[in-house]
Amino acid sequence: MKIVLNNNPETIERENMTITDLLKWKKFTFKMLVIKINGKLVKKNDYDNARVQEGDDVVVLHLISGG
């Protein structure tokens, strides 16, 4: 499966992948993330159900806070 992840083309060997799977595959471990699939926000509660499909444009933003 081919997707665009953070503006970079990626080839994934799996056809069925959730956001949770994608985060594990890419080793994204930050606690505060904003994720969009094709411009639509994916809520944290939906990571296990939100499917990444062929051709999807996925954006994973790490939120950083400081003082």
User: How many CA atoms does the CB half-sphere of 20 hold within 13 Å?
Assistant: 7
Chain position carrying tokens 């999807």:
56
Indicate whether 67 pLDDT > 70. no
How confident is the model at residue 14, as a pLDDT? Answer: 86
pLDDT in tens, 4-37: 999 999 999 888 899 999 999 999 988 899 999 9
Residues 6+ apart with CB under 8 A from 14: 1, 21
Between the alpha carbon of residue 37 and those of residues 43, 66, 67, the distances in Å are 11, 27, 30
Nearest CA among 3, 2, 1 for reference residue 38: 3
Stated pTM of the model: 0.89
Domains of the chain: 2-62 (3.10.20.30)
Indicate whether 50 pLDDT > 90. yes
